[in-house]
Structure 1
């Protein structure tokens, strides 16, 4: 998605900042309507993926429902008009075994000590499904099934799927079969000679068996759930979603969507940084080009493409990168950029102890549940896409400044501006650069527009974050009086490390 050309000038603006601070003016060019055939997205375009083993922590059960998570999801519905779809999946879904006679909902097995990021194995029983009834009424789920090999594996997957469908029925939006199977050949999960074509044949065998043993309407499967795509070759040995569709994955009528996963880096040496991995717009777009290409290819083949698991940094995030305000700004830029391509939905992954989670669902080491910075970015995009039926067009596309026009029924409804320039809480506020965006009068009557500002003391902070003057309290509620701003002389200013939503 390419942004328009922009004009930038610098001058000194005296608004409580030092007059030595250079301030840029950006002249926005806003098209009257989106391009023909541009993707239209739902209000819950931004949804969530919860690590399978931690669904009980996030949702609770009949006797101990998680009211904090419930409140945070309800906030998003109240703002956007739609509940996020919840994918319960991830690596631990590959380690799960369903036992119909197990009385405990879930048993987690850790071989390396308590509070490792993930259990090494898990078993689930019928009471496990209670967790899928605790979120706000109407919540839909993608249920990531195990994908053990052979006839015994097929029997176990069908057993797990049948039990879930019997318990949850139409609240299941889709089933996934296995997590990131494109990396399984030569591991304990599959032999070294297991090919992409073998995957397609086995996936269809499992999907057919599940459908035959349930009253599952078709199509009701999300295929692939592959690791980040980095190869678009049509070679028969290259795994990507377009290639498996060419191999016949959609044959049989079971497939609704295909999914890839992605992150902006990995939590390993050399460690990712906030500046390079999250606050650099072009780092994100350099990775996203694969999704754009695959989204276009799968659309041409008649199947919707989603980013089914994503967040800032893989391996559960990097401290002081994934869990600070800069991640909220990155999340806004990431979602809105994606919404302007043929990616039909995206799911932000989280787990109880994960650094990149949007919220901590339970008490950990004496710290009560709380909304993390990323959640504030999620509130912003929920407001931007509220009501659904939205089309998003890139307006500014630079390393640290981005802007997006958001349209409803081809009419401009709002403009989102993200300033990714790094400003830390330890810096002098007098040195916080400010950029002024000049809005074209031809695009609307800006004198009647409302501005909502997402801000914090710095991109490195974890606290004192507000969206339109409000914050999330210890119960998960949005509190405080909403503070909005107007547009003066068709201009809006955005300081380093802030985002604004300008609504007509």
Structure 2
């Protein structure tokens, strides 16, 4: 693989580089089989009913989730909980929910609730998700109230036992006890002596009570998520999966039902109002170093026979950075981030969503305040998708509907271009290439790289279909198209005529700055 000298298209004044890329025709032995729900979602619990709908479903959110199911045959998994999980209590006299919010700020225009009290209707709204959805639900651990966790669990189980939910095949797969317990000293939920040993001891007590309420045992469908920490020491001290295992997390009867370890991860922080640079977020090397740092945790988790997933993740914590998390460039970041995670042993990536969060893939409710600084909007903003949503669509199309697609990162000798190959039945079907060089507003020349494809361990393909994610500028917040079509519609359903090209594989393919191409290979 080598880089050829650049040349200039005189008619356009665009510098074009040529790059040889070799793609295996047969799936390499280390190519993992990847879940069709690789891109899934985490929903902030306080505004769950805005997502699901209370007496009737939220059609916009339903369509946005169901689009992915229509492509892969599998809906995204939904985790419901997060910060407000540890501020939730149950009251049978409340139909849906009563919620108290702190004052909004310019940094956090849509804050999480400080208190939420829910009734049975809150949980039964799960019936409004697409049929076949797998659900993870969190219960309150932060307030150290066993009764709250027990009552919430009973109501959750009741909801999933209802005829509407059972007929739709919507299942409760995991219960999560507490959100980011490693931060409990910081947020006042525990005192300064709080440590991993105390976490395991208290978690074990809660898990025994939750197990009794939910009937969790060796034969039950419902199991436990373990950890769900905000950070990790990646060692056997402090808060990490390794430390939790060492302290006995898996040793009790309830602990033996932990089958999934959750890690929360953001690429940066906007909590103090310091913004990030869009190019930094998109950069190929940064994505890999951010994720690969969890390799010790993933290895330790797999050694216990457990699965590992990013149960809450997104670009910048505290709901995202303005002009970064809500832009088209974030779609390229999310695409590379999700696909690369599959290469290091991450089962799913649950992108965190709230109402009005800057990093949302989906904005499912009408907004009256700016997501950037909280200022009043002269015209309310109707439900809409944000550019990062296209990453979920592209991942779904690349994985297809086989349910057993293998994914392999292609070695690309370029610091800005990433590539992934997709295999069904061990044979190459598709490839995705991502050019993460940010083409920003004000730039006058947009470079392009010409990829010259060759194939190893098998015969070459004659033709390929090329589908492009077209973006004006990396810092645009709308106007993105995928194969000539848009999801920026009033109902989240795709609109427009499909625009793809069929070309000889021998001709190669151009990929511009801030662009994605999906290649589907023919005979």
* Coarse TM-score class (shorter-chain normalised): over 0.9
Match among 5, 8, 16 for residue 3 of structure 2: 8
Residue of structure 2 in register with 1:127 after alignment: 121
Counterpart among 419, 425, 437 of residue 421 in structure 1: 437
CA shift in 2, pair 1:331/1:148, >3 Å = closer
User: How many aligned residue pairs are there?
Assistant: 487
Distance across 2 between alignment mates of 1:62 and 1:247? 44
Helix, strand or coil at the partner of 1:29: strand
SS of 1:28's partner is strand
CA pair 15-326 structure 1, distance change in 2 beyond 3 A: farther
Distance change >3 Å, CA 499–CA 120, structure 1 → 2: same
| 1:398 Cα deviation from its structure 2 partner | 4.2
Number of the residue aligned with 1:172? 172
Cα gap change, 1:113/1:453 in structure 2, threshold over 3 Å: closer, same or farther? closer
Cα distance change of structure 1 residues 155 and 393 upon mapping to structure 2, 3 Å threshold: same
- Shift in alpha-carbon separation, 1:221–1:394, aligned structure 2, 3 A: same
1:264 is paired with a residue whose SS is strand
Identify the range of structure 1 (130-139 vs 45-54) with the bigger mean alpha-carbon deviation.
Answer: 130-139
Match of 1:46 in 2: 39
Query: Is it true that 1:501 corresponds to 2:518 in the alignment?
Result: yes
- CA-based RMSD: 1.9
Structure 1 Cα separation of the partners of residues 493 and 222 of structure 2: 37
Residue 28 of structure 1, CA deviation: 0.9
What does the per-residue CA deviation read over 1:12-42, in whole Å, with 9 as the maximum and x for residues that have no partner? 2538521xx3211121122344443543111
Shift of 1:296: 1.8
Residue 107 of structure 1 corresponds to 98
Q: Which moved more, 1:380-389 or 1:443-452?
A: 443-452
Distance 1:296 1:490 in 2: 42
Contact 1:451–1:487 (Cα < 8 Å) also in 2: yes
1:464 corresponds, among 475, 479, 485, to 479
Of the three residues 400, 407, 412, the one matched with 1:392 is 407
Give the corresponding residue for 1:3: none
- In the TM superposition, residue 198 of structure 1 has moved relative to its aligned partner by 1.6
Q: CA deviation at 1:218?
A: 5.4
Between the aligned partners of 2:414 and 2:114, the Cα distance in structure 1 is 43
1:447–1:486 CA contact under 8 A, matched in 2: no
Contact between 2:102 and 2:111, CA under 8 Å: does it hold in 1? Answer: no
Q: CA deviation at 1:475?
A: 1.3
- Deviation per residue, 1:231-280 (Å, 9 max, x gap): 32223xx211122123222232210100101111111354211012x121
- Give the conservation status (yes or no) of the 8 Å contact 1:62–1:130: no
Unaligned runs of 5+ in 1: 1-5
Change in CA separation of 1:432 and 1:444 when aligned onto 2, cut-off 3 Å: farther
Q: Distance in 2 between matches of 1:481 and 1:36?
A: 39
Question: 1:477: which partner in 2?
Answer: 493
What's the CA shift string for 1:190-224, capped at 9, x where partnerless?
A: 22222201211222222222122233415611111
SS in 2 for 1:79: helix
- 2:418 aligns with 402
Tell me how far apart the structure 1 counterparts of residues 208 and 485 of structure 2 sit (CA, whole Å): 49
Quick one: which of 260, 271, 277 aligns to 1:273?
A: 277
Distance in 2 (CA, whole Å) between partners of 1:159 and 1:298 is 30
Q: Distance in 2 between matches of 1:187 and 1:118?
A: 13
Alignment-derived partner of residue 138 in structure 1: 132
Give the structure 1 partner of residue 150 of structure 2.
158
- Between 1:480-489 and 1:337-346, the stretch displaced more is 480-489
Corresponding residue of 2:351? 348
Question: What is the match of residue 370 of structure 1?
Answer: 384
* Contact 2:22-2:455 at 8 Å conserved across structures: no
Partner of 1:185: helix, strand, or coil? helix
Post-superposition shift, 1:502?
Answer: 0.8
Q: Deviations over 1:162-188 (max 9, x none)?
A: 110111246212110000001213653
Correspondent of 2:396 among 357, 382, 405: 382
TM-score between the two structures when normalised by the length of structure 1: 0.92
Contact 1:185/1:195 (<8 A) preserved:
no
Q: What TM-score does the superposition give when structure 2 sets the normalisation length?
A: 0.89
Q: Secondary structure at the match of 1:310?
A: strand
Q: State the 1:8 CA deviation.
A: 1.1
Verify the 8 A CA contact 1:174 1:220 in the aligned structure 2.
Answer: yes
CA distance in 1, matches of 2:6, 2:301: 47
Return the match for 2:468 from 434, 449, 453: 453
1:55 is aligned, of 30, 42, 48, to 48
* Secondary structure of the corresponding residue to residue 265 of structure 1: strand
Alpha-carbon distance change, 15 to 93 in structure 1, aligned in 2, over 3 angstroms = farther
1:245–1:330 distance in 2 versus 1, CA, 3 Å: same
Q: Assess if the C-alpha contact under 8 Å between 1:241 and 1:258 holds in 2.
A: yes
2:374 alignment partner in structure 1: none
Determine the C-alpha separation between the residues in 2 that align with 1:14 and 1:23.
7
